[in-house]
Amino acid sequence: MDSIHLVRKKLALVKEIVLLFPSLRISVPFGQNEGHEHFFDGPSHSGFIEMRLRNIRRKLQQSQRTYSLKRRHCKLQPSSPSLEETVPSEWLTLIKRMRPSTENSSSIKNAIDQTFSYRRKWIMTKSPTVGEIFKEYPRFLDMPSLMDIEFSKLTDGKEDMFIRKWEGTIIPKLKEIALLEKKMDIRQLLEKADSQDDDELCYTMLKVLIHLLPPMPSGRSAAGSKCCVNSSVSYLLEFVPAGTSVISLLTESMKGSLKSGQPQLVSIGSLGHGAQYVIVAKNDSFALPLDVDNLTCAVDRLFKFYWLCNLQYPCQLSSVFSFF
């Protein structure tokens, strides 16, 4: 009954929002809707408000939670001090010393699985830097699929949800919603979309999404809180000339050209011309070349990177990351 009561309260809240602010009501030509589902949709338990609450809960310490899932709680709490001290150390040694190969990849995956609870507790309680995390678990660097496995364990098997939905489901719906907008900037973006290849289309629709989910205030001042779309998208993806070395992305001159202190994507080369994608964490002097060949997969990997390292989303794009 408590969960039903909560759903009713959320529905009452979002209906009141669109009643008080009619311009926030979105009626789209696909499916039946009342115009408030982007804030909260009861049947699917999705929407901006629901995602915001989930992100707040995800960052709470165990002592701050009103309730906890016993299954997850047991995962994070070792059954005894000796288990916490001995079992992870053996597997950590294996992770650090065993190099990836066809023969030992299963052993490394098993070690990552065995240290999952220990690793999450360490990251959540000690807040290590990005560099410290990957120094402790270097196999995430040379076996990128481990990041997918980690994310799957954190999200109950949703590791490929973004990849499956972005191009086939989300982009078409974004186009339909954007067509209802009267802003010339959005219409110009949509006109280009019809003739673009996959990476260019992905980049265009990310811009459209930022138009529809405007940049969040930085909190410094009311005047300084506004940020244009072109400026905001650079907190997600920056471009450098083809041939730029990955190591040079960490030089002081190059870091000065990157806007975001939070991890972001850097495209070495132009979209659609064999660009190489790199995650750069400027504040930690850390760069991770990605084993992907398209922008959709690169954005997917960046999102998982945030979850693996338990990082806050960049405030300029917090609504976009929450949408992901």
Q: Are residues 55 and 104 in the same domain?
A: no
- What is the structure's pLDDT at 87? 54
Q: Which two tokens stand for residue 324?
A: 């992901």
Single residue among 126, 154, 182 that ends a domain in this structure: 154
Work out the pLDDT band at 66, boundaries 50, 70, 90. low
- What is the structure's pLDDT at 260? 76
Q: Are residues 135 and 268 in the same domain?
A: no
pTM of the model: 0.70
Q: Are residues 278 and 174 in the same domain?
A: yes
Q: Are residues 317 and 172 in the same domain?
A: yes
Model pLDDT for residues 276-305, shown as the tens digit of each residue: 999 999 888 899 999 998 999 999 999 999
65 within a domain of the structure (yes/no): no
CA distance 199 to 196: 8
- What is the structure's pLDDT at 79? 42
- What is the structure's pLDDT at 60? 66
Domains identified in the chain, total number = 3
Higher-pLDDT residue of 48, 306? 306
CA distance 232 to 226: 10
Alpha helices by DSSP H, listed for the chain, are 2-20, 48-58, 70-76, 81-97, 105-114, 116-126, 130-136, 139-142, 145-154, 161-165, 171-179, 184-193, 198-212, 229-233, 252-255, 295-309, 318-323
Enclosing domain of residue 173:
161-323
66 within a domain of the structure (yes/no): no
CA distance 149 to 133: 16
Model pLDDT for residues 215-239, shown as the tens digit of each residue: 655 444 444 444 577 788 888 999 9
- What is the structure's pLDDT at 85? 43
Higher-pLDDT residue of 79, 160? 160
- What is the structure's pLDDT at 70? 40
Q: Are residues 126 and 269 in the same domain?
A: no
- Give Cα 296 distance to the centre of its chain: 12
Model pLDDT for residues 90-143, shown as the tens digit of each residue: 788 888 888 878 888 888 888 888 899 999 999 999 999 999 999 999 999 988
Model pLDDT for residues 261-272, shown as the tens digit of each residue: 789 999 999 887
**Bridge partners for 286 per DSSP:** 281
| Pairing assessment for the beta strands 286-289 and 237-240 based on DSSP bridges | unpaired
CA distance 227 to 320: 14
- What is the structure's pLDDT at 216? 54
Q: Which two tokens stand for residue 70?
A: 């016993």
- What is the structure's pLDDT at 76? 41
Provide the 3-class DSSP secondary structure of residue 262: coil
